[in-house]
Structure 1
Amino acid sequence: MSRFFYEAVEENPIIAAVKNMDDLKICCSLEDIRVVFILFGDVCSIREIVQQIKDSGKVAMVHVDLISGLSSKEIVVDFIRKNTEADGIISTKAALIKRGKELKMFTVLRYFLLDSMAYENIRQQQHAVKPDYIEVLPGVMPKVIGKVCKMSKTPIIAGGLISDKESVMAALSAGAIAVSSTNHEVWKM
């Protein structure tokens, strides 16, 4: 299953991260976008949001931490699996990623690189949880991204503050397999 996500990212390393219905409409109209990170919605709307992405032939990844009305317990992953056609989940919580793996979903463990302790967290959790991908934020730190890529056996996605071609190229050159961005201009690159 992970191979399908990887192939979609190989086709286009730009991942559209959508934060509202206007973003959703635009990214679904862009043929080159293959993977979509859903960063908004609630328990009542998430099924429809995922369905629009799936109807446009894209991989739908739900950031479960950001969906209103859902808890931070493992049952949220079961809810997404049972009630939507999402391909996978994104979370900062290792337990949710672990549950996603048990349910055979794509998983992205998201980290905010705030200090040197973040490196140790990545090192430990990648082995314990085994996410399919690790997303590091902010994604505009090529030196740090390079260090994470060297230390991690898990493919890295750079996200956060990616707003121009220079940032995209720097993250990819540092070793990230893809970048996620909410910037519509980046989606069109």
Structure 2
Amino acid sequence: MNIDQFYERIINIKKIASVKESKYIEKALQAELSAVVLSIGNIAVIKRYVDLFKSNNLPVFLHIERLGGISHDREGIDFLAHYVKPTGIVSTRNSLIKQAKNQGLLTIQRVFLVDSDALKTGLQSVQETQPDAVELMPGLLTDILEEFKSEVDLPIIAGGLIRNKHQMIQALRYGAVAVSVGNYRLWKETLAGETN
């Protein structure tokens, strides 16, 4: 999947499943989603998970810091890119984003907004690495979504602490192009046409 196809998916479908337990893999396969972020697995099973989602034409991103047995360095990224072959990675680390981009993987840089310093350093980090998309956490900070969006020309994904459809719609109305949610019940929500 190339970057334009990914952007088209997140703009049209608007939901990304954050899968944190293997028992929810099947539920993610049954929902209409832009993509899946896997925060589960290890070196022994991750290729099987990725192949399963890809065989269902669903882009799959790996949250590399949460995968067991894979180092967080150039060799780990090389292994993922050449053997596991996900659509891309999610990471908070600039170095991993840069290495993944060099290997042709799509990248989502996760930024935790805990205070005004985190906002400033997050903006600087994203401007330096130029990931393919940015995930802001928590996704309920609507005024910060607008501010971040005005500073970077990248798709913004809102994630973290989103617990219902109303919160999903609010994040989209304030500048997010998609929402990333871990609650499998929200994966079936319809968002098209409700964000204007």
- Could you say which TM-score interval applies, normalised by the shorter chain? over 0.9
The answer as to whether partners of 2:127 and 2:152 remain within 8 angstroms in 1 is no
Counterpart of 2:101?
101
**Cα distance in 2 for residues equivalent to 1:91 and 1:186:** 23
Counterpart of 2:4?
3
Counterpart of 2:119?
119
The answer as to whether partners of 2:143 and 2:174 remain within 8 angstroms in 1 is yes
Deviates more, 1:118-127 or 1:96-105: 118-127
Cα drift, residue 35 of structure 1: 0.6
Deviation string, structure 1 residues 115-135 (Cα, Å, up to 9, x no partner): 111222222222221100110
The answer as to whether partners of 1:88 and 1:100 remain within 8 angstroms in 2 is yes
**Cα distance in 1 for residues equivalent to 2:127 and 2:33:** 30
Which SS does the other structure have where 2:140 is aligned? Answer: coil
Q: Which amino acid aligns with 1:103?
A: Q
**Cα distance in 1 for residues equivalent to 2:117 and 2:152:** 15
**Cα distance in 2 for residues equivalent to 1:117 and 1:135:** 17
Deviation string, structure 1 residues 78-102 (Cα, Å, up to 9, x no partner): 1111111301000010000001111
Counterpart of 2:20?
19
**Cα distance in 2 for residues equivalent to 1:74 and 1:93:** 12
Cα drift, residue 64 of structure 1: 0.5
**TM-score using structure 1 length:** 0.95
Which runs of at least 4 in structure 1 moved beyond 3 Å after TM superposition?
none
Deviation string, structure 1 residues 145-181 (Cα, Å, up to 9, x no partner): 1211112222110001112111101100110110000
RMSD, aligned CA: 1.1
**Cα distance in 2 for residues equivalent to 1:183 and 1:146:** 25
The answer as to whether partners of 2:112 and 2:138 remain within 8 angstroms in 1 is yes
Aligned length: 188
Cα drift, residue 9 of structure 1: 0.7
Counterpart of 2:63?
63
Q: Which runs of 5+ in 1 are unaligned?
A: none
**TM-score using structure 2 length:** 0.92
Q: Percent identity among equivalent residues?
A: 30
